Amino acid sequence: MNRDKSIALFDKAKQYFPGGVNSPVRAFKSVGGNPLFIEKGDGSHIWDADGNEFIDYCCSWGPLILGHNNPNVRKAVEEALSYGTSFGAPTRKENELAGLILNNHRFIEKIRFVSSGTEAVMSAVRLARGYTKKDKVIKFEGCYHGHFDSMLVKAGSGLATFGTSSSEGVPASQISDTIVLPLNNLAAVEEAFRQFKDQIACILIEPVPANNGLLIQDSEFLLGLRDICSTNKSLLIFDEVISGFRIGFEGAAGYYDIQPDIMTYGKIIGGGLPVGAYASSKEIMSCISPEGGVYQAGTLSGNPIAMAAGKAQLEQCLKEGFYQSLQVRTRQLADNINWHCQEKNYEARVLTIGSIFWLTFSKDGKIQSADQIDGDSMSKFTNFYNGLLENGVYLGPSGYEVGFVSEAHSNEDIEKTISTINTALDKVFA
Ligand SMILES: *Cc1c(COP(=O)(O)O)cnc(C)c1O
């Protein structure tokens, strides 16, 4: 595979950006080598600067549930563009996207648009603290909630409830109210509520943790969190930046039929443009400025071009059978790879939920907490990954990243991917 142009572009980029990128995983550090510079995408396929073509399962890290360059999304963007790009005043387009979402979602009554997932979660945590008048936040090891200070925490050693910062530049005071617990362990949550009685504003969780492998939780665990929050007058926040509009239109709340207090969105909601959102009941949302005292604002919030893209995308997600059809193709991909691995006795499995999938180099079909992931097995991923690239399949460049099937992935794409992945596995285990 010729990568000359991507290599030259990366050399240039390294002069401009730290590590040559504007977001760290893009640098390909964990798979070795040089990132591919992408020239264009269409449907399920992308092309790099050297003209190499790939079936893409990164899909911009999840937003592109219809695939690249969807004609309806593009048309909506072009049409919106002809009216100007931004006004800093309300527009009809915000109402249209909000109406579409709220009329088709049983778990939320009011919404506020922001410009990224990070901003959505940061604002949701502030809202929970403002509403409950409590300060502490429970989060789980293995969940990602964006890059604001108080969430850049990893579990401390041993039984310590308070974590240590996972980034330089985060003062200890910023994380002193963040409690980090293991996933799928209700006893640990109950213990934290005993220890910090009446101090916990909220439990924040990715109900489908998909940022550190795919750690599918028992529904009893999620239901248990719901109960604990209700009993203790704390709020349950579902961070649905990945799972929202992905596991179904109503996301994980709909999938598990659990009513969270606040939900956060990003990725799919903007149709490939930068949009995030947080949403809740009318009562809780009334705490947000200018109605209430919890401040939150944004110069480009509700940007009309982004609203138009989000609406055009979500309208298509509402089509009859949309999610079932994605799930069927994702299952087909996973099942065929898992049969191959079982037959050959390979230590590898594909785990899935909805149209999210994750390949783990383990035989364990039930991985539910971060400490169950074998870090050493990631060395296999590098070979595997490069085998896929050579044969025209593009995944996010890290063994901890999940893949996404979009509406644009055809049966032919899926079949080609199955054989490419199975061949790459044969090489890894040869
Ligand atoms: C991607 C993601 C975020 C952060 O969103 P950005 O748009 O990258 O700021 C937060 N939470 C979850 C669950 C995510 O998947």
Residue 117 Cβ contacting ligand 1 at under 6 Å: yes
Q: Are 309 and 366 in the same domain? A: no
Mean pLDDT, range 166-187, rounded to an integer: 94
Q: Whose CA is nearest to atom 13 of ligand 1?
A: 241
**Is 149 known to be catalytic?**
no
Q: Per-residue pLDDT for 159 more than 90?
A: no
Ligand 1 closest atom vs CA 276: 7
> At how many degrees (to 10) do helices 304-317 and 71-81 cross?
160
**382 and 345 within one domain:** yes
Two tokens, residue 120: 């959505």
Say yes or no: 64 and 203 in one domain: no
Active-site entry in 48, 177, 239, 413: 239
CATH number at residue 416: 3.90.1150.10
**Same-domain status, 199 and 219:** yes
Q: Which residue has the tokens 């213990």?
A: 191
Which pairs count as long-range contacts for 83-86, CB under 8 Å and 24+ apart, including other chains?
83/304, 84/304, 85/303, 85/304, 85/305, 86/300, 86/303, 86/304, 86/305
The reply to whether ligand 1 has any atom less than 6 angstroms from the CB of 121 is yes
Q: Tell me if 272 CB under 6 Å of ligand 1.
A: no
- The answer, yes or no, to whether residue 145 has pLDDT greater than 80, is yes
SS3 label, residue 119 = helix
Residues 308 and 328 in one domain: no
Residue closest by Cα to atom 15 of ligand 1: 242
Among 286, 301, 317, identify where a domain stops. Answer: 317
Identify whether residues 371 and 269 lie together within a single domain.
no
Spell out a b/e string for 373-400, using b for 16 or more CB atoms within 10 Å of the CB, else e: beeeebebbbbbbbbbbebebbbbbbbb
User: Distance, CA 402 to ligand 1 centroid (Å)?
Assistant: 13
What is the per-residue burial (b if ≥16 Cβ within 10 Å, else e) of 172-190? eebbebbbbbbbbbbebbe
Judged on CB neighbours under 10 Å (0-12, 13-18, 19+), 51 is exposed
User: For residue range 90-121, what is the model confidence (pLDDT) as tens digits?
Assistant: 999 999 999 999 999 999 999 999 999 999 99
**Residue 116 Cβ contacting ligand 1 at under 6 Å:** yes
Whether residue 158 is predicted with pLDDT greater than 70 in this model: the reply is no
Total number of domains constituting the chain: 2
Cα separation, 315 vs 180, in Å, equals 37
Are residues 177 and 313 located together in one domain of the fold? Answer: yes
Phi, psi (deg, nearest 5) at residue 374? -85, 105
Residue range 320-338, pLDDT digits in tens: 999 999 999 999 999 999 9
Q: Helices 186-195 & 219-232, crossing angle to 10 degrees?
A: 20
Q: 410 falls in which pLDDT band (50, 70, 90)?
A: very high
Same domain membership, residue 247 and residue 129: yes
Give the CATH number of the domain where residue 169 resides: 3.40.640.10
User: Token pair of 364, please?
Assistant: 């364990």
CB distance 145 to ligand 1 below 6 Å: yes
Instruction: State the closest ligand 1 atom to the C-alpha of 117, by its place in the atom list counted from 1.
Output: 5
Q: How far is the CA of 264 from the centre of ligand 1 (A)?
A: 9
Task: Please indicate whether residue 243, judged by its CB atom, sits closer than 6 Å to ligand 1.
Answer: no
Domain that holds residue 239: 71-317
| Protein residue with least CA distance to atom 5, ligand 1 | 117
Q: Is residue 48 located within the same domain as residue 92?
A: no
Q: How far is the C-alpha of 269 from the C-alpha of 113, rounded, in Å?
A: 10
Residue 161 scores a pLDDT above 70: no
Q: Of 317, 345, 371, which one is at a domain's C-terminal end? A: 317
Of these residues, 134, 139, 267, 311, which one is catalytic?
Answer: 267
Last residue of a domain, one of 317, 344, 363: 317
- The atom number, within ligand 1, closest to the CA of 240 reads 13
Q: How far is the CA of 62 from the centre of ligand 1 (A)?
A: 10
Q: In this structure, are 134 and 254 located in the same domain?
A: yes
Residue 144 appears among annotated catalytic residues: yes
Residue 51 shares a structural domain with residue 146: no
Among the listed residues 57, 131, 144, 385, the single catalytic one is 144
What pLDDT score does 32 carry? 87
Nearest CA to ligand 1 atom 8: 117
Same domain membership, residue 18 and residue 92 = no
